[in-house]
């Protein structure tokens, strides 16, 4: 049964590879434009055995991991502060929406001027990208909590801290996880883009560097790895938290 399910997930990818191979060989596309699957596989093996892929991939993973932790640590309390204050929420909602329109990449020129071609620049861009959906979703999660939950606890003599721990935190958790999941998606893309410009390691650096030497096979290895790593992070880390909280508490809001 599990095998059948795995096959269903893998099948579209096989089709995709078949189309790619078909176009490459059938239309006779030049090696300078597109590499065939075996060539990409060979490049993959070379990059793995020489430790190149591990080095570049670990840089990217460390960056996204660090950025996610920091964004979470700053974004959640910020979202709480704003979400529990009606006036602040109303004032900031527009600003946050506006900032979501200016992508992290658009901040790159300024960030490079301020911090140079460094990891700091990359981190600033990724954190900026990650933190906005986290703050936004934490805020909306907090605001969607029925007022009665809070009032009931206040009349049971609960302190402010107690209300945060017993009501706001569990009540907004599903929304926070959605924010984190979105943020990870946006952040991962921003990271790759920033790495291409900053050129201080990471998968973005790998594929952009490969372009200068026309290493099509390498570029394609990098792209595939970028996608695979994203799926792994999302499926293995973020999604389980989401289903855990939602399944246990049922439908939180009616």
Partner 1 sequence: MPSGKISVSGFRHFFPTEGGPVQATGVIDLAIREGEFVTLVGPSGCGKTTLLKAIAGFITPSEGTILCDGKRVTAPGRERGVVFQELAILPWRTVRRNIAHGLEIARVPRVERERTVERLIGLMGLNGFEDRYPHELSGGMRQRVAVARTWAADPEIILMDEPFSAVDAMTRLTLQEELGRLCATTRKTVFFITHSVEEAVFLADRVLVMTKRPGTIKAVLDVPRHDHGGRDWDSFTADPEMRNIEEQVMHLVHAERVAG
Short-list 194, 206, 201, 192, CA closest to 46: 206
Q: Least distance from C-beta 218 to partner 1, angstroms?
A: 49
Q: In the complex, what is the shortest distance from the CB of residue 62 to partner 1, in angstroms, rounded to a whole number? A: 34
Residue 65: CB minimum distance to partner 1, A: 28
Rg over CA atoms, the chain? 22
Nearer to partner 1, 113 or 247 (CB): 247
C-beta of 174: minimal distance to partner 1 in Å? 10
3-state SS class at 8: helix
Cβ at position 142, least distance to partner 1 in Å: 15
CB neighbours (10 Å) of residue 78? 17
- Comparing CB distances to partner 1, the nearer of 14 and 165 is 165
The full 3-state SS of 102-150, as one line of letters, equals CCHHHHHHHHHHHHCCCHHHHHHHHHHHHHHHHHHHHHHHHHCCCHHHH
Residue 163 or 207: the one with the smaller Cβ distance to partner 1 is 163
Task: Note the residues at the interface with partner 1 (CB under 8 A).
Answer: 146, 148-149, 151-158, 162, 166-167, 170-171, 248-252, 254
In this complex, which beta carbon is closest to partner 1, that of residue 34 or of residue 246? 246
Burial of 213 (0-12, 13-18, 19+ CB in 10 A): exposed
Cβ distance to partner 1 smaller for residue 235 or 253: 253
Side-chain half-sphere of 176: how many Cα atoms within 13 Å?
Answer: 23
Q: How far is the CB of 159 from partner 1 (least distance, A)?
A: 8
- Give every CB contact of residue 82 below 8 A, 6+ residues apart in sequence: 88, 89, 92, 135, 139
Residue-by-residue DSSP string for 179-247: HHHHHHHHHHHHHHHHHHHH-SSSHHHHHHHHHHTT-HHHHHHHHHHHHHHHHHHIIIIIHHHHHHHHH
Kindly tell me which of 86 and 211 has the beta carbon lying closer to partner 1. 86
As measured in angstroms, the least distance from the Cβ of 147 to partner 1 is 9
Cβ proximity to partner 1: between 68 and 173 the closer is: 173
């Amino acid at each position: 049964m599990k095998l059948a399910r795995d096959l269903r997930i893998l099948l579209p990818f096989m089709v995709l590879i078949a189309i790619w191979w078909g176009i490459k060989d059938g239309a006779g596309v030049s090696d300078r434009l597109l590499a065939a699957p075996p060539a990409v596989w060979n490049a993959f093996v070379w990059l793995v055995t020489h430790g190149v892929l591990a080095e570049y991939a670990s840089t990217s993973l460390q960056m996204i991991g660090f950025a996610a932790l920091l964004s979470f640590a700053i974004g959640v309390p910020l979202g709480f502060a704003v979400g529990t204050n009606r006036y602040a929420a109303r004032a900031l909602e527009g600003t946050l929406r506006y900032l979501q329109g200016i992508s992290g990449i658009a901040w790159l020129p300024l960030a490079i001027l301020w911090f140079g071609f460094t990891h700091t620049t990359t981190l600033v861009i990724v954190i900026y990208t990650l933190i906005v959906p986290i703050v936004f979703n934490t805020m909306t999660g907090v605001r969607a909590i029925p007022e009665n939950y809070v009032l009931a606890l206040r009349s049971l003599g609960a302190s402010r801290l107690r209300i945060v721990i017993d009501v706001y935190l569990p009540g907004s958790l599903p929304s926070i996880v959605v924010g984190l999941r979105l943020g990870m998606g946006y952040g991962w893309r921003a990271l790759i883009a920033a790495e291409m410009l900053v050129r201080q390691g990471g998968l973005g650096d790998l594929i952009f560097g490969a372009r200068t030497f026309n290493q099509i096979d390498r570029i394609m290895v990098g792209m595939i790895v970028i996608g695979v790593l994203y799926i792994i992070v999302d499926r293995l880390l973020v999604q389980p938290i989401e289903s855990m909280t939602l399944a246990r508490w049922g439908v939180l809001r009616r």
